[in-house]
Chains A and B, each alone.
Chain A
Amino acid sequence: MAALGMRRPRANAAARSDKRAEWMLGALAVGVLALIALMVVTVAIKAWPSFSHNGLAWFGSGAEPDASMRAMRENMPLPGHSIYYFRAWPLLWGTIVTTIPAVLIALVVSTFSAVFLTEFAPDAVRRVVEPVVRLLAGVPSIVYGLVGFVALAPWIEHNFISNARKQSVIQVVQLNGNNLSTGAVILAVMILPIMVAITMNALAVVPSSWKEGSAALGVNRWRTIWRVSLRTARPAIVAGMILATARALGEAVMLDLVAGSRDFNANPLDGTTFLFEPVRPLAATIFQESGGLNIGVLSHTLYAIAAVLLVSATMLSFAGWAAKRSMSRYGVT
């Protein structure tokens, strides 16, 4: 344009307005970026005193977290320790012991459901089942908690926790329907829709020539799915698992109602009774103790727990995003 010697005032004005728009939108986007960076930094700053007083032993075991937090609330440090004393292992163990079984159950059920919805379902059935599975994703966690507390917990208590079982651990803890199994099962139902959606997307883009080639070799439909489709969708299933774990880590309300809300260190050496012991995961702890956020020392501890959650959720999100991106290399998604 410049070579032709033409000068168009309107074009310059348009270019200026484009530049303005670009800067404004860019500023907004970078503003969100700054907000998130601010969030990480402030949570870390508020959490630092708790970590600096406890060191790496923060993650270990010692006095019960409830006792430490009560000491902080009443400003009466536990004998022989500072007011910041806190050992989070029962909470970490509670998180592990509800999240991992939930993800495993969800993995199996979601894979079979996704295979059904993409391969085996007749059209009419698929049109009904798909929205219903999506509905499960939208149910609020408080409703899951209420249903679990009032319906599932008594059923489990009635059928699985006999008096003999209760007596066997009565000195240490009281067993009832709110335990880690109930929590894990409902958590699995909550994270299923995420995994089903991701797996369905991945199964839908498996090249049909691969499936047809397998059928031409005489392989029946299930074996084709198992050997060809699911194997191609494996990165997606892994990504789904990672995202579902991130979701499960953040679940506070439902687990607070249903998983026992006692910071008990569930003991695998108890055999099957281990499955029915109450636990309290990290997020549920923050939720339950949220009344104490204006007390200095307690708030530092709660922010420390939040920092741990933030770091793990961030790492999982990035891992899931990286897994999804590596899938695009193969032309899937």
Chain B
Amino acid sequence: MATAQLAPSSPGPSTPIARPGRESTAAWPLLDRLCFWLCWAAALGLCAIAVAIVLYMFVKGVGFLKLSMLTQSPKPSLLQKQSGGFSDPLVGTFVITAIGTALAVPIGTAIAVWLSEHARPRWAARAVESALEMLAGVPSVVLALFGLLAFSQGFLGFLSESSAAGHVTGTSFLTAGITMGVLALPLVVAANYEALSLLPARLREASHALGKTRLTTIRHVLLPSIRPATATGAVLGMGRIIGDTAIITILLGGAINNEPAGGFLGLLRGTGATLTSYVYYQSPAGEGNSHEKAFAAAFVLLLIVLMLNAIVTQISSDRPLVRRGMWRAMEWDLPWTR
């Protein structure tokens, strides 16, 4: 077997002639050819699964999706098929994503900047890196439990409602949003840190040579250079937030309507629903009995996620469909500066 491999096969009258260029697989042993076909099968199978999921949701969801569903709130009714829509969960998803991203992106960028620019003392930098790795691996249910524990404490009661006996519920858009921010943090930090570490040292050196302080360098030179990576991190974080159900179920209550608490920022301090929890409660496993609405909402959710994915691909691609102007990283690698 070994000698047959080392000696090149000479084309005889029965062996196929290999064309110049790519090595033809026709002359390979059967096992190798099987593995080659398995590679093709695995990749195309994955594609088929992804397309099948999207198509299935499309077929099932579009049939039940009406424009009125996007604008009406959920209404309890015996005629589940005709009543109500999911405007409340849609608003809920938007609010949660906004809060989570507004927390995760600035804090994550700041942490990434600290890790790449300062990172002193050494033990602190190593500890923060380990903590972020750990946070990336923590299941979202555990994060939700911790969030519930933290926000049920008395001094954080302003973030959610309290019952008449003074017992803080800890469930509201604010608490769920903050927990989502913690969930998305590692993604944002990783994207920014990777981009910052790929920036050439001459950028910083040139800026210091011009007499600029560290802070100015960061604000005006480094951060604009990594804009695509910051955007990618933000969109990845948004994708993770939008798709999470466990935190919503535990920290936002089981309602399917948004119920604002009274007073200032009522909506944010009240409980509500998002698309994910709405799908869960309407699905056959939840309490509702309307598969149709679950499918419609799940289809809208999938569309949102697909859009976010397309945005990420566009940001990091070399041939974008839309001119990106100021969103392109500044071109430090101009040919004549190399």
A314 at the interface (CB under 8 A from B): yes
Cβ < 8 Å to B, chain A residues 22-38:
22, 25-26, 28-30, 32-33, 35-38
Q: Contacts A116-B40, A149-B283; is A293 near B145 (CB within 8 Å)?
A: yes
A238 at the interface (CB under 8 A from B): no
**Across the interface, do A32 and B138 meet the contact criterion of CB distance under 8 Å?**
no
Q: Which residues of the other chain, B, contact A143 by a CB distance below 8 angstroms?
A: 53, 57, 279, 298, 301-302
Q: For B43, B250, B284, B301, which residue has the most chain A Cβ atoms within 10 angstroms?
A: B43
Cβ < 8 Å to B, chain A residues 178-223:
189, 192, 196, 217-223
Q: Which residues of the other chain, A, contact B276 by a CB distance below 8 angstroms?
A: 140, 142
Residue among A14, A26, A33, A142 making CB contact with B298, cutoff 8 Å: A142
**Across the interface, do B130 and A318 meet the contact criterion of CB distance under 8 Å?**
yes
CB closest residue in chain A, given B27? A220
A139 to B132, CA, bound (A): 23
**Across the interface, do A29 and B305 meet the contact criterion of CB distance under 8 Å?**
no
Residue among B54, B245, B291 making CB contact with A142, cutoff 8 Å: B245
A317 to B113, CA, bound (A): 23
Q: Which residues of the other chain, A, contact B32 by a CB distance below 8 angstroms?
A: 220, 222-223
**Across the interface, do B132 and A32 meet the contact criterion of CB distance under 8 Å?**
yes
A256 to B283, CA, bound (A): 12
A99 to B128, CA, bound (A): 29
**Across the interface, do A32 and B131 meet the contact criterion of CB distance under 8 Å?**
yes
Residue among B6, B39, B118, B245 making CB contact with A113, cutoff 8 Å: B39
Q: Which residues of the other chain, A, contact B143 by a CB distance below 8 angstroms?
A: 39
Cβ < 8 Å to B, chain A residues 145-195:
145-147, 149-151, 189, 192
CB distance from B58 to the nearest CB of A (A): 12
A78 at the interface (CB under 8 A from B): no
B322 at the interface (CB under 8 A from A): no
**Across the interface, do A131 and B42 meet the contact criterion of CB distance under 8 Å?**
no
**Across the interface, do B142 and A306 meet the contact criterion of CB distance under 8 Å?**
yes
**Across the interface, do B138 and A261 meet the contact criterion of CB distance under 8 Å?**
no
A146 to B113, CA, bound (A): 40
A321 at the interface (CB under 8 A from B): yes
CB closest residue in chain A, given B53? A147
Residue among A17, A28, A116, A131 making CB contact with B111, cutoff 8 Å: A28
B203 at the interface (CB under 8 A from A): no
B86 at the interface (CB under 8 A from A): no
Q: Which residues of the other chain, A, contact B35 by a CB distance below 8 angstroms?
A: 112, 222, 226
**Across the interface, do A29 and B249 meet the contact criterion of CB distance under 8 Å?**
no
A18 at the interface (CB under 8 A from B): yes
CB closest residue in chain A, given B310? A131
A70 to B280, CA, bound (A): 23
Q: Which residues of the other chain, A, contact B7 by a CB distance below 8 angstroms?
A: 218
Q: Which residues of the other chain, A, contact B131 by a CB distance below 8 angstroms?
A: 32-33, 36-37
**Across the interface, do B46 and A109 meet the contact criterion of CB distance under 8 Å?**
yes
Cβ contacts B54-85/A at 8 Å (1 or 0 each): 10110010000000000000000000000000
**Across the interface, do A151 and B56 meet the contact criterion of CB distance under 8 Å?**
yes
Binding stretch for chain A, among B94-102, B236-244, B262-270: B236-244
A117 at the interface (CB under 8 A from B): yes
Residue among B49, B50, B145, B280 making CB contact with A43, cutoff 8 Å: B145
CB distance from A131 to the nearest CB of B (A): 5
**Across the interface, do B139 and A252 meet the contact criterion of CB distance under 8 Å?**
yes
A320 to B134, CA, bound (A): 10
A34 to B264, CA, bound (A): 31
**Across the interface, do A218 and B5 meet the contact criterion of CB distance under 8 Å?**
yes
**Across the interface, do B107 and A32 meet the contact criterion of CB distance under 8 Å?**
yes
CB closest residue in chain A, given B54? A135
Q: For B47, B214, B246, B313, which residue has the most chain A Cβ atoms within 10 angstroms?
A: B246
Q: Which residues of the other chain, A, contact B291 by a CB distance below 8 angstroms?
A: 150
**Across the interface, do A261 and B298 meet the contact criterion of CB distance under 8 Å?**
no
Binding stretch for chain A, among B146-154, B220-228, B330-338: B146-154
Q: Which residues of the other chain, A, contact B279 by a CB distance below 8 angstroms?
A: 142-143, 146
B213 at the interface (CB under 8 A from A): yes
A313 at the interface (CB under 8 A from B): yes
A25 to B35, CA, bound (A): 51
Residue among A39, A145, A189 making CB contact with B49, cutoff 8 Å: A189
**Across the interface, do A293 and B243 meet the contact criterion of CB distance under 8 Å?**
no
CB distance from A161 to the nearest CB of B (A): 18
A249 to B141, CA, bound (A): 11
CB distance from B95 to the nearest CB of A (A): 17
CB closest residue in chain B, given A122? B22
Q: Which residues of the other chain, B, contact A32 by a CB distance below 8 angstroms?
A: 107, 111, 128, 131-132, 135, 185
Q: List 8 A-B contacts (CB under 8 A).
A: A32-B107, A32-B128, A120-B36, A142-B280, A150-B291, A220-B27, A250-B141, A318-B133
Given A192-B46, A220-B25, A253-B246, 7 extra CB contacts under 8 A: A142-B245, A220-B27, A220-B32, A250-B142, A252-B141, A302-B145, A320-B133
Give the top 3 A-B pairs by smallest Cβ distance, nearest first.
Answer: A250-B139, A140-B243, A317-B137
